[in-house]
Amino acid sequence: MGYSEPELDKIARLYDIRIEGQLQLFLSRMGKCAVGLIGDSQVQLYRTSWTVREHLLFQVDFFSQMQEAGHYGFLNNPFVFSLVSETQYYFLQTSLSDAVYHYDSNTDVVTETDADLFAFLKLLADENRGVLKVFTCGDLLRII
C-alpha cells in the first residue's frame, strides 16, 4: 500500500524533500504498509502510533543533530527512512540521488553506504527473513 500522486506532492511540500527515483517508487508502492517484509522497528515510516507531528519532529530533530555536528554537506533535503537502535539513522539526500547515507549519533559520523534505497530495503528484508513480523501501516500525513 502506497501513497497517491496528490499525497506524494503533499509529503514533498510538508517535509521539504524531492520525491523522485527510487523514493517515489518506494513511497507509491509500499510507503504506508510494510506488507510483512520489514517491521516498524527499522522503518519508522510504518509506526502506527506516529502522527504527522511525530514524523515532522523526528525529521527536524535529525536535521538539527546534523547541523550541530557540522555535517552541512549532507543536508541536501535529507529524509530519514530508517532508524536502527535509536542511534543509527539511514537517510537519503533527496535533492541528489538514491544513495543511502548512515549517521551514527553516538559518534557523530556520517558515511555513504554502498547501497541505494532498494538495495538497502532488500538488505533489511533479508536480515529479517524468518522473523515473524506484524503487518504494520503508518502514514506521513495522518493528523490524528
Cell triple for 64: 538539527
Q: Report the distance separating Cα 80 and Cα 92, nearest Å.
A: 7
The verdict on residue 118 lying in a domain is yes
Q: Report the distance separating Cα 29 and Cα 24, nearest Å.
A: 8
Give the per-residue pLDDT at 112.
Answer: 98
The verdict on residue 40 lying in a domain is yes
Give the per-residue pLDDT at 103.
Answer: 98
| Structural domain that includes position 47 | 5-127
Question: Which residues of the chain carry a pLDDT beneath 70?
Answer: 35-37, 39-41, 130-135
The verdict on residue 134 lying in a domain is no
Q: How many domains does the chain have?
A: 1
The verdict on residue 44 lying in a domain is yes
- What does pTM read for this prediction? 0.90
The verdict on residue 141 lying in a domain is no
The verdict on residue 96 lying in a domain is yes
Looking at this protein, which amino acid is placed at residue 8?
A: L
Q: Report the distance separating Cα 16 and Cα 13, nearest Å.
A: 5
User: What pLDDT digit, counting tens, does each position of 55-93 carry?
Assistant: 999 999 999 999 999 999 999 999 999 998 899 999 999
The verdict on residue 34 lying in a domain is yes
The verdict on residue 88 lying in a domain is yes
Burial class (CB in 10 A: 0-12, 13-18, 19+), 126: exposed
Closest among 117, 109, 94 to 17, alpha carbons compared: 94
